[in-house]
Structure formats: C-alpha cells, structure tokens
C-alpha cells in the first residue's frame, strides 16, 4: 500500500465542504418571497404533476404533523444509522488492536 | 428523492412491485446467508446498512436550488454485492414511507427498483470495471458511490416519464431528469468523497476482512498489517 499521506483525509473533508458551499453560491434565488429556497426535488416534481392535473390517488397513512416533527424524525433516522455505524466501525477497530496485540505477544515473551 | 405516495398509476405500482419483489426476496436470503456463513462479517454488514440509513436521511442543497438526499447504497454493493443492498435499501425505504411520509407504500416497488436495485448494480458494475482495469481502490469507490446515487435518480426520472409521458417519453424524461438527476450531480460527488473516507478507514481497521472478500489484494493487507 502507498504510504498514507496525512493530508488526504483533511483534503477530502475540505472538498466536501466546498461542494456544499458551491451549491449555495450557484443556486438560483427563489423567484418570489414566499417560494422556499432548496425545496425537495420530490415536492418540485409533485407540484409539476399537480399543475398538469394529476392528483395522487393514495395518501400517506401517517404524516408527521409539521416540518419540525418531520425533521426530527429524519434526525432520528440519521442518529440510528450513525449509532450503528459508529458501533460497527469502533468494533472493527477494537478487533484490529486486539489482533495486533496477539500478533506481538509471542514475539515479546 | 423518491416518488411520492400515490403519484404512480396503479398499473405501474403493481408492475414495479412485481419487478422488485424477486430482487428483495433474493436479497433477504443473501443477508441471512452472509450473516450465518460468515459471522465475522456481521459488523461490516451492519456498517453497510447503517451507512445507507444515515446518508438517505440527510437532505442537502444543490446547485439547482432544490435539495435532495444521497443514497449510500454503493458502499454495501461493493462490500457485499448488490443483492444484499436490495434488502437493506428496502428497509430504509419502508422506514421513510411509514414514518416520514417520504416516498410511499404504493410507490415502494418503483422506489426499491431505483434505489435498492438499479443503483447498487450500477455501482457494482463500475467498481468491477475499475478493478479489472487495475484502477486504484479509491477511484473505484468514488465512481461506484457517485454512480449508484446518480443512476438511482435517472431511473426515478425514467419511471415518472413512463407514467406521465407528456408531451412524449423523451420530453418527459428530460423534464424529470432536469429536476432529479441535475440536482443529484453535486450530491453524487459528495457521496463519492464520503465513500472514499469510509473505505480508507475500513482498509486501516478491517484489512483482513476486505482481503477475504477480494476487495484489496493481499499485498495491501500485509502492508496494512506492518
């Protein structure tokens, strides 16, 4: 494996932030004041379809009461995922430490 | 993002459901087989599922002035092959359809087909192509993750165009892709970068597991050990 360059991770993170910022800079401003900037693409397409006269024939069984509750549930989804991901990656790292300790032990004693 | 509840004609819902079902069932069996045959890969399996869970919850702004979310299905497709992601992706979509009114139960079949089947398979194809061409792992991961993301929303656009071919199929495809696929491009690039970060970490901590799955060669494994 190539020598691990300590700059790779920070550079990748900087690129991520740059891409995020770029979207804000390049995005067109909303046409009117009541038009929400950065609405979801699904809502945009739904609005297009409704304008063309297509109505949904089935409505969601459960709808989060407001945007606040919805964003909370999305946060919950991310939190559950991040928790499990952290547990799995942490465990993998722990296994590696253990493996290395085991590999070293016979040589040391 | 996914096709909203109730916005696909009944015939399309049924057709996509029938098309997706065998993939999901096969995927569920692949997950069970993987975790019983290789108990040591359970952690990686959990990581792949959790990764999709996190990424598909995060809505990001894009250059088009709309926002959308990444899919994160490419990582699992590389680690465990696409069938496993057909199942894990379906779990994510069900969660969002039931609790978040995002996507929907009637459009589940179509959304599963785009995010959990087409995306992962495209990612796996790109990953294999880069690896056969002796490309570096990072490049393969970046392209595979980005392609999984983009292909998902190209398929979504196609599904909508098939349902609403107005003025014609191509015109509708261009219209929907203009919203979905265009918005997704910067997100796909971001997802590719996150994927590279994830795999760089995995190579560091789980080199034997990755080598056993044939993702990195043994020379890399030895180097990571040293």
* Structure confidence at residue A62 (pLDDT): 79
Closest Cβ–Cβ partner in B2, B47, B60 for A88: B47
What is the pLDDT averaged over residues B135-156? 95
Distance from CA of B57 to the nearest CA of A (A): 5
pLDDT more than 90, % of chain B:
72
Mean pLDDT of B79-102: 93
* pLDDT for A1: 47
Residue B121 pLDDT greater than 90, yes or no: yes
pTM of the shown model:
0.90
- Please report which helix (H) or strand (E) contains residue A40, including its range: strand A39-40
With CB atoms and an 8 Å threshold, state whether A92 touches B47.
yes
Which residues between 68 and 87 in chain B have a beta carbon less than 8 angstroms from any beta carbon of chain A?
Answer: 68
Mutation pick from A11, A13, A64, A88 vs chain B, by most beta carbons of B within 10 Å, is: A88
Q: φ, ψ for residue B66 (rounded to 5)?
A: -110, 170
* Nearest-CB residue to B106 (from A58, A64, A70): A58
Average confidence score pLDDT of chain B = 91
pLDDT, tens only, A80-106: 999 999 999 999 999 999 989 998 877
- A-B C-beta contacts closer than 8 Å: 187
Q: Which long-range contacts (CB under 8 A, 24 or more apart) does B209-213 make?
A: B209/A92, B209/B40, B209/B41, B209/B44, B213/B41, B213/B79, B213/B80
Beta strand spans in B49-174 (E): 60-61, 66-68
Angle between helices B42-55 and A67-108 (to 10 degrees): 150
Q: Which residue has the higher pLDDT, B65 or B29?
A: B29
Q: Which element (helix H / strand E) includes A42?
A: helix A41-51
Alpha carbons B175 and B167: distance in angstroms, whole number: 10
Nearest CA in chain B to A5: B200
- Minimal-distance CA residue of chain A relative to B98: A62
- Nearest CB neighbour to A73, from listed B2, B49, B100: B100
> CA A88 → CA A25, A80, B83, B90, distances in Å?
37, 12, 21, 21
Model pLDDT, residue A56: 84
Sign of CA dihedral B28, B31, B32, B33: positive
Residue B66 at interface with chain A, using a CB cutoff of 8 Å: yes
Percent of chain B with pLDDT over 70: 96
**pLDDT tens-digit profile of B163-200?**
999 889 999 999 999 888 888 999 999 999 999 999 99
Residue-wise pLDDT for A17-54, tens only, equals: 999 998 888 887 766 655 677 888 888 888 888 888 78
Question: Are B27 and B86 within 8 A, CB to CB?
Answer: yes
Q: Convert the pLDDT of each residue in B44-78 to its tens digit.
A: 999 999 999 999 999 888 888 888 999 999 999 99
* B26 min Cα distance to partner chain A (Å): 24
For residue A35, what pLDDT is reported? 64
* pLDDT higher than threshold 60 for residue A109: no
Integer Cα distance of B82 and B73 in angstroms: 9
């Amino acid at each position: 494996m190539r020598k691990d360059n300590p700059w790779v991770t920070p550079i990748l993170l900087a690129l991520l932030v740059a891409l995020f910022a770029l979207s804000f800079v390049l995005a067109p401003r909303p046409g009117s004041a009541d038009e929400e900037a950065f609405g979801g693409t699904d809502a945009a397409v739904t609005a297009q379809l409704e304008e063309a006269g297509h109505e949904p024939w089935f409505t969601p069984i459960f709808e989060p009461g407001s945007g606040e509750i919805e964003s909370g549930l999305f946060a919950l989804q991310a939190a559950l995922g991040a928790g499990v991901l952290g547990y799995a990656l942490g465990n993998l790292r722990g296994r590696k430490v253990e493996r290395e300790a085991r590999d070293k032990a016979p040589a040391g004693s | 993002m996914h096709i909203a509840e109730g916005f696909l004609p009944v015939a399309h819902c049924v057709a996509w459901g029938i098309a997706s079902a065998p993939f999901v069932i096969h995927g569920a069996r692949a997950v069970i087989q993987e975790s019983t045959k290789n108990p040591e890969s359970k952690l990686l399996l959990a990581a792949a599922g959790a990764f999709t869970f996190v990424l598909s919850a995060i809505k990001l702004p894009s250059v088009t002035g709309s926002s959308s979310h990444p899919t994160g299905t490419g990582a699992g497709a590389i680690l465990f092959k696409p069938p496993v992601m057909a199942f894990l992706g379906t779990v994510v979509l069900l969660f969002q359809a039931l609790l978040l009114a995002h996507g929907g139960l009637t459009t589940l079949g179509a959304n599963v087909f785009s995010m959990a089947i087409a995306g992962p398979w495209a990612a796996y194809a790109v990953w294999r192509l880069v690896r056969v061409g002796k490309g570096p792992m990072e490049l393969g991961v970046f392209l595979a993750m980005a392609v999984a993301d983009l292909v998902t929303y190209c398929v979504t656009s196609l599904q909508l165009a098939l349902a609403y071919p107005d003025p014609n199929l191509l015109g509708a495809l261009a219209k929907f892709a203009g919203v979905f696929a265009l918005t997704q491009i910067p997100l796909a690039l971001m997802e590719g970068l996150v994927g590279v970060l994830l795999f760089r970490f995995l190579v560091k901590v789980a080199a034997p597991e990755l080598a056993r799955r044939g993702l990195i060669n043994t020379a890399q494994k030895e180097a990571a050990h040293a």
